Chain A
């Protein structure tokens, strides 16, 4: 079975631009979460979506938004990119909402110049 997939793998953007990252969860999983990991730190929670609704949001500015589609795939959008947004963006899927194990995709490495 396929695991969590993310696209693109790498991305280079300029300050002020917009970026869209995509994620497909494990088949049968209905919950998708997004995390940001900067070098030397553990991943930081951004959003969780379950059944197309936002179920949780971390301490990130409104420039970050996300959505989940009927097929449970998800997009993370970041507007007005800052240099500090350079990071590995990880998507994780789990069977349901709540305190479940989460399984991570390979991530999208975003560089903002």
Chain B
């Protein structure tokens, strides 16, 4: 079983839509959690850390449920520039464990 699992999508949504991505992880001892964004043939860029209390950064909201080992990312008012692959990432102490990523395409 893969340590971090995500729905690969693709998610095709119109501009202005709200879209949610989910992710599960297998190691209950995992220490920190992130969402990274990766554009085609580019490096992953940190989008936001994820905290148990939930956190928001503009149009982006991340949630962590440690009991269910579940992480989510909500994007409101989608922009064309949000089109990318979103990687769910779990840090087990030194290594980042990545999901395969969820592909998002925002269309006009």
Contacts and interface: CB of A to CB of B under 8 A. Distances in A.
A101 B98 contact: no
Contact of B46 (A33, A101, A106): A101
A3 to B, nearest CB: 9
A107 B43 contact: yes
Interface stretch (B12-20, B65-73, B86-94): B86-94
Contacts of A40: 100
Which of A58, A99, A104 has the most chain B CB atoms closer than 10 A to its own CB?
A: A99
A55 interface: yes
Interface in A50-107: 55-56, 58, 88, 90, 92, 97-107
B93 A98 contact: yes
B49 A101 contact: yes
Contacts of A98: 31, 93-94
Contacts of A103: 46
B43 A90 contact: yes
A98 to B, nearest CB: 6
B96 A92 contact: yes
Contacts of B94: 33, 48, 55-56, 97-99
Contacts of A41: 100
B1 interface: no
Which of B91, B93, B94 has the most chain A CB atoms closer than 10 A to its own CB?
A: B94
B86 to A, nearest CB: 11
The 4 closest A-B pairs by CB, nearest first: A42-B98, A45-B95, A99-B31, A56-B94
21 contacts: A35-B96, A40-B100, A41-B100, A42-B87, A42-B101, A43-B87, A48-B94, A55-B94, A56-B93, A56-B95, A58-B95, A92-B96, A99-B31, A99-B94, A100-B32, A100-B91, A101-B34, A101-B46, A104-B44, A105-B43, A106-B43
